[in-house]
Amino acid sequence: MSMRSILIKQFGGIENLIIGSAPKPIPKNNEILVQVKSFALNRADVLQRMGRYPPPPGDSEILGLEMSGVVVEADKQDKRFKIGDKVFGLVGGGAYGEFCTIASNQAFHMPSHLTFESASAIPEAWLTAFQALHPLANFKSGNSVLIHAAASGVGTALIQLCKVDGATKIFGTVGSDEKAKFIEKLGATHSINYKTNENFLDVINDITSKKGVNNVFDYVGAKYWNQNLKSLSMDGVMIIQGFLSGSHIKDTTADITPILGKRLTIKGSTLRNRDNDYKADLVSQFSKRYLGLFESGELKPVVDKVFNYSEIKEAHEYLEANKNMGKVVIKGFSYSE
């Protein structure tokens, strides 16, 4: 049996994204088969399209890390989902297809107030943000934080989680004044447009009376290494989950002294290559702690723009041009209201 899917003709630019057919996935034990209604884009999709981020062994070669849809084949062991249930969740790959398999313990029941578009915008960004904030940074109410790429899918989730969890100060770096205003509306207390002010350290020193922030959440990498270390307070924790500016620190003044002097902790992680049990635990903790807050409106999936599957090239182009504030979402092959 085959299905329609967005495929990569060969690694490279957006012209290599084509609509074709692929084998319909067959769910294994502990998996459900979902007819995809909507999926969301991630920076990782762009890297995978270019051949720079292969899926972990065993995961689908088809692009796409998150989707929402309807269960068409239930799991024979895990009875939580039945045919016809609306679900959304995180997958190791395959969300750009007409159908997609997902481990039952990594899927969420879709609350009735969410649309397919908004639900597909949650899993990767919010679980990445949650992983950074809690298992990795051990964030405490009263902490002050610095979030880089703050208007990204992950950044917009992190701002909201920091706010509901009691961050006192939320600094965010962004690349335009429009994005600066946008993150302030979401809950950032101080926005820094790095295109007009490269020195976020001065802003942090000024506002915190040189104490620094408890946590830095970094997605930019090399170019911010020095300022990040200097921005942290005593016993500060920095989480690195991306390196949009590169991973090789070329700054010859790079200095590790603050790590010792301020007893800093630096951790990094990806979500995609974590094992199923880890991801299932993250999904379960996130659901208990935060899913209700989406219903009450305290947390909001931030959907910037919705494209049709036939506009996938334009959607990748939009993301790569850094135009999005929040998530770029695609109506899948089987989209319906």
Ligand X SMILES: NC(=O)c1ccc[n+]([C@@H]2O[C@H](COP(=O)([O-])OP(=O)(O)OC[C@H]3O[C@@H](n4cnc5c(N)ncnc54)[C@H](OP(=O)(O)O)[C@@H]3O)[C@@H](O)[C@H]2O)c1
Binding of ligand X by 154 (CB under 6 A)? yes
In the complex, least distance from residue 175 CB atom to ligand X, rounded to whole angstroms: 3
Q: Which of 10, 29, 270, 276 binds ligand X (CB under 6 A)?
A: 270
Binding of ligand X by 245 (CB under 6 A)? yes
Q: Cβ-count burial of 79 within 10 angstroms (0-12 exposed, 13-18 middle, 19+ buried)? A: exposed
Closer by beta carbon to ligand X, 114 or else 174: 174
Binding of ligand X by 324 (CB under 6 A)? yes
Q: Which of 89, 153, 212, 258 binds ligand X (CB under 6 A)?
A: 153
Number of Cβ within a 10 Å radius of residue 289:
14
Closer by beta carbon to ligand X, 25 or else 242: 242
Binding of ligand X by 43 (CB under 6 A)? yes
Number of residues binding to ligand X, judged by CB under 6 A: 27
Q: For ligand X, which residue has the nearest CB?
A: 242
Question: CA 96, CA 103: separation in Å to the nearest integer?
Answer: 17
Binding of ligand X by 92 (CB under 6 A)? no
Number of Cβ within a 10 Å radius of residue 139:
23
Q: Cβ-count burial of 85 within 10 angstroms (0-12 exposed, 13-18 middle, 19+ buried)? A: middle
Binding of ligand X by 64 (CB under 6 A)? no
Q: Which of 111, 135, 175, 187 binds ligand X (CB under 6 A)?
A: 175
Listed in order, strand segments (DSSP E) in the chain are: 2-8, 17-23, 31-40, 66-73, 86-90, 99-103, 107-109, 144-147, 169-174, 190-193, 213-218, 232-240, 265-268, 303-308, 327-331
Footprint on residues 181-240 left by ligand X (CB under 6 A): 219-220
Residue 97 carries which DSSP code? B
Question: CA 72, CA 84: separation in Å to the nearest integer?
Answer: 6
Q: Which of 37, 49, 86, 179 binds ligand X (CB under 6 A)?
A: 179
Binding of ligand X by 90 (CB under 6 A)? no
Q: Is-contact 193 175, C-beta < 8 A?
A: yes
In the complex, least distance from residue 289 CB atom to ligand X, rounded to whole angstroms: 19
Triad 149, 320, 219: Cα angle to 5° = 25
Radius of gyration in angstroms for the set of CA atoms belonging to the chain, rounded to a whole number: 20
Binding of ligand X by 164 (CB under 6 A)? no
Strands 86-90 and 66-73, by their bridges, are antiparallel
Q: Which of 34, 74, 161, 319 binds ligand X (CB under 6 A)?
A: 319
In the complex, least distance from residue 60 CB atom to ligand X, rounded to whole angstroms: 17
Triad 179, 181, 183: Cα angle to 5° = 70
Q: Which of 121, 161, 174, 312 binds ligand X (CB under 6 A)?
A: 174
Residues interacting with ligand X, by CB under 6 A?
Answer: 42-44, 124-125, 128, 149, 151-154, 174-176, 179, 219-220, 241-242, 244-245, 269-271, 319, 322, 324
